[in-house]
């Protein structure tokens, strides 16, 4: 029996939830349909048994990039072409993607590595608009090995502002995140996915080029590396956990451009 299975059988593990709660009024980008939930049937609305037994149901409406989510490879294109040279005209048919949709994102059960940039800088969270460079990532990694196929999660501390939508989206301030050099560093290491605790993963600076998303192009479009956004990495940071088993299973949303997820960090000991 493997060490992991032994740990599981002995309940010698901790599980840290890396997702934010999904609820009406939660922060979302202007490009996404906001999350909303309402009860379509309440207890007491209808008694089908005649013996007091009731059931309640809810209706949920949400964009596929709201809350903690993973990007599908069809999420971004360049000049009408998706990752791997797939033409958008061939991939998007009948109101959905028939190629590279969210249902093609494989579940992830692999090694995860946390790169805590605020801890590196000696601050609680990074300043607005800060670009996390390749050098920052190297210094945060230190002597910890990074293997091909690992998932790397980059903490900025920005999720601390999640309860204030205006501050979290940072339209008037910018948002910290990985810059182009950091994106290339991640791609060169062959990571399976890269995640962050902001709305768009990468640096969002103010100015005419502030809405550009170079890391989305470098990771999703050029290298078929999935991006995970709006992660809550605070508990991992508080417990100084750097390496862990990472578990993520996307919903099989056929033809969607992303999927809500509830990632977990599984820690032995």
Examine the pLDDT at 269 and tell me if it is beyond 80: no
Examine the pLDDT at 49 and tell me if it is beyond 80: no
In a domain, 111, yes or no: yes
With a pLDDT cut of 90, the percent of the chain lying above it is 85
- Domain assignment of residue 8, given as a range: 3-20+65-73+100-268
The domain total for the chain is 1
Q: What is the pLDDT of residues 167-211, one digit of tens each?
A: 999 999 999 999 999 999 999 999 999 999 999 999 998 887 666
Matching residue, tokens 């502030």: 210
Phi, psi of 9 (to 5 degrees): -65, -30
User: Any idea what the CATH number is for the domain that residue 182 is in?
Assistant: 3.50.30.50
d(CA 235, CA 53): 40
Question: What's the angle, vertex CA 249, arms to CA 152 and CA 258, rounded to 5?
Answer: 80
Question: Cα 64 to the chain's mean position, in Å?
Answer: 11
Matching residue, tokens 């996404």: 32
In the structure encoding, which two tokens stand for residue 214, read together?
Answer: 């170079």
CA quadruple 65, 71, 75, 78: dihedral sign: positive
Q: What is the mean pLDDT of residues 71-76?
A: 98
Using CA atoms of 94, 99, 104, 105 in order, give the dihedral in degrees to the nearest 10.
-100
In a domain, 46, yes or no: no
In a domain, 236, yes or no: yes
Coil/strand/helix, residue 9 = helix
Examine the pLDDT at 268 and tell me if it is beyond 80: yes
Coil/strand/helix, residue 254 = coil
Examine the pLDDT at 1 and tell me if it is beyond 60: no
Question: Parallel, antiparallel, or unpaired: how do β-strands 193-196 and 151-155 relate?
Answer: parallel
Helix-helix angle 134-141:180-188, to 10 degrees? 50
- 206 or 87: whose pLDDT is higher? 87
In a domain, 32, yes or no: no
Examine the pLDDT at 2 and tell me if it is beyond 80: no
Q: For the chain, what is the total number of helices (H) and then of strands (E)?
A: 9, 15
In a domain, 35, yes or no: no
With a pLDDT cut of 70, the percent of the chain lying above it is 95
Q: What is the mean pLDDT of residues 37-63?
A: 87
Examine the pLDDT at 29 and tell me if it is beyond 70: yes
In a domain, 227, yes or no: yes
Examine the pLDDT at 4 and tell me if it is beyond 80: no
d(CA 103, CA 113): 25
In a domain, 221, yes or no: yes
In a domain, 36, yes or no: no
CA quadruple 188, 189, 190, 194: dihedral sign: negative
d(CA 132, CA 196): 11
Question: What's the angle, vertex CA 109, arms to CA 104 and CA 114, rounded to 5?
Answer: 110
Examine the pLDDT at 11 and tell me if it is beyond 80: no
Examine the pLDDT at 5 and tell me if it is beyond 70: no
Phi, psi of 181 (to 5 degrees): -65, -40
Which of 34-43, 209-218, 245-254 shows the lowest mean pLDDT across its residues? 209-218
Res 209: pLDDT: 65
- Average pLDDT over the chain, rounded to an integer: 94
Question: Whole-prediction pTM value?
Answer: 0.94
Q: Which runs of consecutive H residues, i.e. helices, occur in the chain? A: 3-9, 88-91, 117-121, 134-141, 165-169, 180-188, 214-215, 223, 234-238
């Amino acid at each position: 029996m493997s060490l992991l299975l032994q740990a599981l059988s002995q309940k010698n593990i901790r599980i840290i939830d890396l997702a934010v709660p999904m609820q009406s009024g939660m922060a979302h980008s202007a490009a996404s349909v906001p999350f909303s939930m309402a009860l379509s049937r309440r207890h007491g609305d209808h008694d089908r048994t005649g013996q007091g037994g009731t059931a309640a149901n809810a209706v949920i409406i949400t964009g596929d990039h709201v809350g903690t989510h993973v990007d599908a490879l069809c999420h971004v294109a360049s000049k009408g072409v998706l990752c791997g040279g797939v033409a958008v005209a061939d991939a998007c048919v009948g109101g959905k993607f028939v190629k590279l949709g969210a249902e093609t994102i494989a579940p992830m059960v692999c090694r995860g590595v946390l790169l805590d940039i605020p801890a590196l800088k000696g601050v609680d969270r990074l300043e607005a608009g800060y670009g996390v460079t390749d050098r920052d990532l190297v210094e945060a990694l230190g002597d910890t090995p990074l293997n091909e196929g690992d998932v790397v999660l980059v903490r900025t501390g920005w999720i601390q502002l999640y309860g204030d939508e205006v501050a979290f989206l940072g339209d008037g301030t910018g948002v910290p995140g990985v810059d182009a050099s950091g994106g290339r560093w991640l791609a060169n290491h062959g990571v399976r996915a890269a995640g962050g605790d902001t709305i768009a993963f990468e640096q969002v600076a103010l100015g005419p080029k502030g809405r550009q998303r170079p890391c989305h192009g470098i990771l999703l479009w050029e290298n078929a590396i999935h991006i995970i956004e709006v992660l809550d990495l605070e508990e991992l940071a508080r417990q100084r956990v750097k390496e862990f088993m990472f578990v993520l299973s996307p919903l099989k949303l056929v033809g969607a451009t992303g999927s809500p997820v509830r990632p977990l960090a599984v820690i032995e000991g």
